[in-house]
Structure 1
Amino acid sequence: MKASTFVLLGAALASSVAAIPSSSHVVHEKRETALSGWVNLGRVDPTTNLVVRIGLSQSNLDQGHSYLMDVSHPGSANYGKFWTEDEITETFAPAAETVDNVRQWLSDAGIDDSSIIHTENKGWLVFAAKAQDVEDLLQTTYYKYSNTKTGQVVTACEQYHVPRNLQDHIDYINPGVGLPTASSATSKAKRQYGHSLRWKTSHVRRSMSMQLPRRQAVTSNLSACDTSITPNCLRALYKFPQSNSAQPNNSLGIFTAPGNHYAQEDLNKFFANYSSNIPQGTHPIPDLINGAKGTTTVDQASTEADLDFEVAYPIVYPQTLTLYQLGGSFNSFLDAIDGSYCKFCAYGECGDDSSIDPSFGGNVMCGTFKPTNVISISYGLQEQDLPANYQKRMCMEFMKLGLQGVSVLVASGDNGVAGPAGDGSANGCLGTDLKVFSPAFPNTCPYVTNVGATKVDTGKTVLDPEVAAYDPPYGNSSVVFSSGGGFSNIYDIADYQQEAVETYFLEHNPPYAYYSGNDSFGANGGVYNRLGRAYPDVSANGQNIIAVVNGRRSHIDGTSASAPIFASIINRIIDERIAHSKGPVGFINPALYLNPGILNDITEGSNPGCGTNGFSAAPGWDPVTGLGTPNYPSMKEYFLSLP
């Protein structure tokens, strides 16, 4: 990896007192702008012991995309021939030359060779040394930084140097320039966050004032689907029958962030009123990660957790759901479902980053749970929130999960072309004028399937085409729901979507100035990156969803509903494939972009944000609703035709 630039926004930096680098050294990482939410407490005591982790460049990372396409492209002879964990670990292990060269550099600099640990996964060289010695090695200066909200204190530098001839062998060094993102929280009715990663979730738009009875007749009436989306509305929209079979080893995985717990009482009331075929007491299989708890009392239940299960169960039952309840950072989830992740490094990150991933105490789970064939994730943040290398490393894990046959679907976000208000700026937008669109993470990773939100338009029925979801403020609320979509500042347009995106630009060109690549961020008044990975990929209903939360019936808006709906459809299709002696479908994007006709194209609506109308839906792919919503009969027929 070449020297990278890591940008953080905020107050002015303290001036550096780093030594002048030698001509043989070059800047490897540098923080060019000021910090937000952090105070420089001064230089680290030179006698302080630092544990230094040098991430070694991995082999064959440049081939990862090709490997994944080889097993994911319907035209490939290797379609569906997924890899094992051992094959992945062996393929991406760092070269012996990399290990030897970096170790020799450390030894020549006076680091005792016997103290250098080459980790079991072969991806890190780790050693402990005095801060002064590390500063001399990296020709930098270390400071203590305190978070103004949490009080957390971490060690970091403003930039560091490595020998020019080692740049291609070193991804990332910790402690380095990275600092955690400050946490924030708002009321549960609007948005719920967990830890420092500001998880985006759906929000309650309207809550009925009275408690639901313990049991009441399940309605089959479809006349009110423009105001209240029930399981019957979804069944009519996407033409899937009620399931009556469940193949073994095909549970749908639902990821839930820290502090977001479901209440069995809420699920029971929902089943009684809207899905009477699901027995009372039906609950997800609890794969609880690092001390998490799965369920809670009805008064403590979160909107997000209740919603995920209440939209998914009526689609997949009698198939099961598996709850991946997180008790640490997002990386803890990847650790727990894939042992090779704990032993795999990319872009200088191996396992959790102590400066970013919160500590929960206890031993980190590693490969404890087997990943399900499909995983739905309704949480995320923005690209600006974390270092690019951190995000790239996580993206490589999604690539690796795809290689193993796992389909990962992610909600596209609820703020249109912006991020959440207060996320880096008052309006959630970027640039000095706060007009640049803010792409979401992990949505922009090219190895996940992004799901935007649609709705049944006012006065329309399930027989009419849906439109892009949008719910403006009402009453005293300032909350706006707008389906997330846009273009990455980190990743280029994925090859599988290039033709579809080019067609959108050619036939439905957005009325905004743009920039071409993150190196020209905001140039010429541009508000989005014309060359960035485009999202969402698909969409599903995400407005006026009926759910039971805290014992009451509520109407919920959010792509947080859309992701588990689409994921449930994919899980149903895999069930059919297993019944026909076939396997999972893995990374589905190449197949979907090659065959957009198996989806319902959405052509109306937009995703406002950053003081604009956002992008517009249009025939074909668009950065509001993607390729469209599920058409179960067409999707089933197509995927059953594949090997």
Structure 2
Amino acid sequence: MRIGLAQSNLDYADKYLTELSHPASPNYGKHWTSEQVIDAFKPSHETIETVRDWLADSGIRGVVQSDNKAWLAFHATVKQAELLLHTEYHEYEDRHTGGVMPACEQYHVPKHIKKHIDYITPGIKLLAPGDEGPNTANTSLAKRHSPSSKAHSAAQTKKLNQVGSAEHFYGPSPKTKPMQASAAQNLSTCDVAITPACIAALYHIPPGHLAHPNNSMGIFEAELQFWDQADLNSFFTNFTTNIHNGTHPIDRLIDGGVAETNYTFEAGGEAMLDLELAYPIVHPQTIVVWNVDDLNYQLWANDTYTWGFNTLLDAVDGSYCNYTAFGETGNAPGIDPTYPDLNAPLGYNGTLQCGVYKLTNVISLSYGGQEADVPIAYQKRQCNEYLKLGLQGISFLFASGDAGVGNYPSPYGDDGATGCLGPQGDIFNPTWPNTCPYITNVGATKVYPGKTVYEPESAVYDPAGHPYSTNFSSGGGFSNVYPIPEYQKSAVATFFADHNPTYPSYSALAANAPNPVHPNVTLLSGATGGIYNRIGRGVPDVAANGDNIATYSNGAFSLSGGTSSSAPIFAAIINRINEERLAVGKSTLGFLNPTLYAHPEILNDITNGTNPGCGTLGFSAVKGWDPVTGLGTPNYPKMLKLFMSLP
């Protein structure tokens, strides 16, 4: 049995992170070690001793404390456990997996113990996936691309048939042809195809020249997204002048992950897009691909990422594997993958990897889901981990989503005919984990037809059928779970004061709740009469180009789009700035948002476009921050100058 102990200083966690990441702070850039993080939040001496004494008085012996200080463990017979917790245990079978676990309907602890305990396991049973509430069955974390009809490899087709989702990628455009490297430097066609030269011109990015051995850029991949050397070589040959064929990323394979393929037809559109956007910006720096979970779970009908990124976080922070927060400890049975995976031909037979890798200073993640489809305890526990890794100097950049203020409508999404919330299907449906306040969200912009890289971009918007099968617009809106963070309050207040949306609104946040309570259960009663929340954390924070991206994938030239494009562009720029800071003995940037919001002048403000969804035009891109393109797109020289001026 394990008892999750109440941690200390969690109320100060946000303050600690701000002290390290706000440009006006004397502690800017003084990042913590993982040991300092554990020590700062470990349970108090009073908590540990009080719970130990209670167990001893109850006849429990052999109690040990975990390395991360977060829980106590001991062996107990069923009779001992029932006497200790004044309950009755039974075995429960998961209807989906057939797994059996002991649990109880309720348990009781003495009043003076309650404040010291967060969670006890085995304890109250969890519901199986699909039973948590409305709109949750078969939910999957989608790649941040707009839905398309592009053909898939045999393995990908098998995967798609199982989960009923689309590979959000579209194929060759009749307007474009493969370009030679010399032609690819032509900036006159950037409204048709965005090449590395177009990106460099848009954001004034000079060629890279530094390569610190401890500053690889990280890119997260999953869901059968394999990179292929032949496609990379074709891209380098046709679109770059300084990257040699054979250049490739370093694979970090977590719990049986597979990152690379020897068969070009199996190359993943997402994997190739991420790498082909990042390499021209960061080269000669190296890139690390973080690929997670064995092929069995990547083909799982429940989907590897029904809920989150726990496999990655386990592998880079061993304390997270058994970290207790919001009534949840460790991975959720029936929701997260379980290792060793002995019952499948493609299963990983090792134990769950905990703390075996050091995460890169910057990581780009082009995957996500919807906030309303993730149990509150699960997502808040994970959000706390982004905070803790931010304290250690890690920058997380997430694509903000491609369905504007909602989700894709079925059959492309999992939230019904409109992709939106509420009984009428008209309440805006924010993305997740984007609403977590400790990550940086990247929305999408576009060079519209007839425009040039020397003119301001606009918020991306492609109506259904042009060329995607459904609308593509930059994901943005306001959280229903997290309040507006301190660093964002002024920007959001200015948006409402100067550009107040005409839609009816509500002001409500879903209360903390243990799994498996669905956020909608506690929220929507407070949303009566409104379709968006005025007191929630705003998304996105920044933006970058996300449409008509020139790529090579599956052996062919094609154009791609999505905030999946925007995230690796912005992340690569941050990695370049880290390189410059490390070269003069400074720290990495870590959590970016306090500095970005304090100095919006280092970004190109986007003031044109909207992000339609839920039967509306969504929000508008306006002067200053907005829930379409955030603070704007990168201006590399201005960003570099500011960040180099900081301690």
Range class of TM-score, shorter chain? 0.7 to 0.9
Q: Matched residue of 1:261: which SS?
A: coil
The structural deviation recorded for 1:385 is 2.5
User: What residue number does 1:540 align with?
Assistant: 544
**1:470 aligned onto 2:453:** no
User: What residue number does 1:85 align with?
Assistant: 34
Contact 2:91 2:100 in 1 (8 A): no
Q: Matched residue of 1:450: which SS?
A: strand
The structural deviation recorded for 1:544 is 1.1
Read off the aligned partner of 1:359 and give its amino acid letter.
Answer: T
User: Structure 1 residues 261 and 509, CA, compared in 2 at 3 Å: closer, same or farther?
Assistant: same
Once the two structures are superposed, the pairs formed by residues 23-34 of structure 1 within 5 Å of their partners are none
User: What residue number does 1:12 align with?
Assistant: none
User: What residue number does 1:169 align with?
Assistant: 116
User: What residue number does 1:10 align with?
Assistant: none
Q: Distance in 2 between matches of 1:76 and 1:383?
A: 32
Q: Distance in 2 between matches of 1:515 and 1:524?
A: 7
Contact 1:200 1:378 in 2 (8 A): no
The structural deviation recorded for 1:218 is 4.6
User: What residue number does 1:231 align with?
Assistant: 196
Once the two structures are superposed, the pairs formed by residues 120-519 of structure 1 within 5 Å of their partners are 120-126=67-73, 137=85, 144=92, 146=94, 165-174=112-121, 175-176=123-124, 177=126, 179-180=128-129, 182-183=137-138, 189=149, 203-208=168-173, 217-296=182-261, 297-327=263-293, 330-342=309-321, 344-361=323-340, 362-421=350-409, 422-474=413-465, 478-519=469-510
The structural deviation recorded for 1:456 is 0.9
Q: Deviations over 1:417-471 (max 9, x none)?
A: 1124342433322222222222222111111111111111222111111111111
The structural deviation recorded for 1:156 is 6.9
Q: Distance in 2 between matches of 1:511 and 1:132?
A: 61
User: What residue number does 2:19 align with?
Assistant: 70
5+ long unaligned stretches in structure 1: 1-51
User: What residue number does 1:596 align with?
Assistant: 600
Q: Deviations over 1:491-536 (max 9, x none)?
A: 1100001000011011111222222122563433222221111111
Q: Matched residue of 1:255: which SS?
A: strand
User: What residue number does 1:57 align with?
Assistant: 6
**1:606 aligned onto 2:610:** yes
User: Structure 1 residues 249 and 612, CA, compared in 2 at 3 Å: closer, same or farther?
Assistant: same
User: Structure 1 residues 224 and 573, CA, compared in 2 at 3 Å: closer, same or farther?
Assistant: same
2:589 to 569, 582, 585: 585
Aligned length: 588
The structural deviation recorded for 1:554 is 1.6
The structural deviation recorded for 1:54 is 3.4
User: What residue number does 1:32 align with?
Assistant: none
User: Structure 1 residues 159 and 433, CA, compared in 2 at 3 Å: closer, same or farther?
Assistant: farther
Q: Deviations over 1:123-143 (max 9, x none)?
A: 224456677986883768868
Q: Distance in 1 between matches of 2:486 and 2:164?
A: 29
User: Structure 1 residues 612 and 134, CA, compared in 2 at 3 Å: closer, same or farther?
Assistant: farther
Contact 1:415 1:484 in 2 (8 A): yes
Q: Matched residue of 1:75: which SS?
A: coil
Q: Matched residue of 1:561: which SS?
A: helix
The structural deviation recorded for 1:299 is 0.9
Q: Matched residue of 1:223: which SS?
A: helix
The structural deviation recorded for 1:248 is 2.7
User: What residue number does 1:21 align with?
Assistant: none
Contact 2:176 2:192 in 1 (8 A): no
Contact 1:211 1:551 in 2 (8 A): no
Q: Distance in 1 between matches of 2:406 and 2:82?
A: 39
Work out the percentage of aligned pairs sharing the same amino acid. 52
The TM-score normalised by the length of structure 2 is: 0.83
Q: Deviations over 1:546-597 (max 9, x none)?
A: 1111111121111111011000111111111122222211111100100001
5+ long unaligned stretches in structure 2: 131-136, 295-303, 341-349, 511-522
Q: Distance in 2 between matches of 1:157 and 1:430?
A: 33
Q: Distance in 2 between matches of 1:199 and 1:72?
A: 41
User: What residue number does 1:564 align with?
Assistant: 568
Q: Deviations over 1:247-291 (max 9, x none)?
A: 331111111124211111111111111113111011111111111
Contact 1:599 1:627 in 2 (8 A): yes
Report the more deviating stretch, 343-352 or 453-462: 343-352
Contact 2:82 2:88 in 1 (8 A): yes
Q: Matched residue of 1:259: which SS?
A: coil
Read off the aligned partner of 2:68 and give its amino acid letter.
Answer: N
Q: Distance in 2 between matches of 1:201 and 1:53?
A: 40
User: What residue number does 1:39 align with?
Assistant: none
Contact 1:201 1:378 in 2 (8 A): no
Q: Distance in 1 between matches of 2:533 and 2:90?
A: 34
Contact 1:202 1:558 in 2 (8 A): no
The structural deviation recorded for 1:316 is 0.8
Q: Matched residue of 1:517: which SS?
A: coil
Q: Deviations over 1:356-375 (max 9, x none)?
A: 21124212222222121111
Read off the aligned partner of 1:314 and give its amino acid letter.
Answer: P
User: Structure 1 residues 453 and 184, CA, compared in 2 at 3 Å: closer, same or farther?
Assistant: same
Q: Matched residue of 1:232: which SS?
A: helix
User: Structure 1 residues 589 and 70, CA, compared in 2 at 3 Å: closer, same or farther?
Assistant: same
Report the more deviating stretch, 276-285 or 359-368: 359-368
Q: Matched residue of 1:573: which SS?
A: helix
Q: Distance in 1 between matches of 2:504 and 2:102?
A: 40
Read off the aligned partner of 1:227 and give its amino acid letter.
Answer: V
Contact 2:360 2:394 in 1 (8 A): yes
Contact 1:200 1:379 in 2 (8 A): no
Contact 1:208 1:553 in 2 (8 A): no
The structural deviation recorded for 1:479 is 2.4
The TM-score normalised by the length of structure 1 is: 0.84
Contact 1:131 1:142 in 2 (8 A): no
Greater percentage in strand: 1
Q: Deviations over 1:102-155 (max 9, x none)?
A: 4555667x6x5126554332322445667798688376886846556x777777
Contact 1:199 1:257 in 2 (8 A): no
The structural deviation recorded for 1:625 is 0.5
User: What residue number does 1:27 align with?
Assistant: none
User: Structure 1 residues 210 and 641, CA, compared in 2 at 3 Å: closer, same or farther?
Assistant: closer
Q: Matched residue of 2:68: which SS?
A: coil
User: Structure 1 residues 582 and 216, CA, compared in 2 at 3 Å: closer, same or farther?
Assistant: closer
Q: Distance in 2 between matches of 1:283 and 1:386?
A: 35
User: Structure 1 residues 216 and 562, CA, compared in 2 at 3 Å: closer, same or farther?
Assistant: closer
Contact 2:148 2:166 in 1 (8 A): no
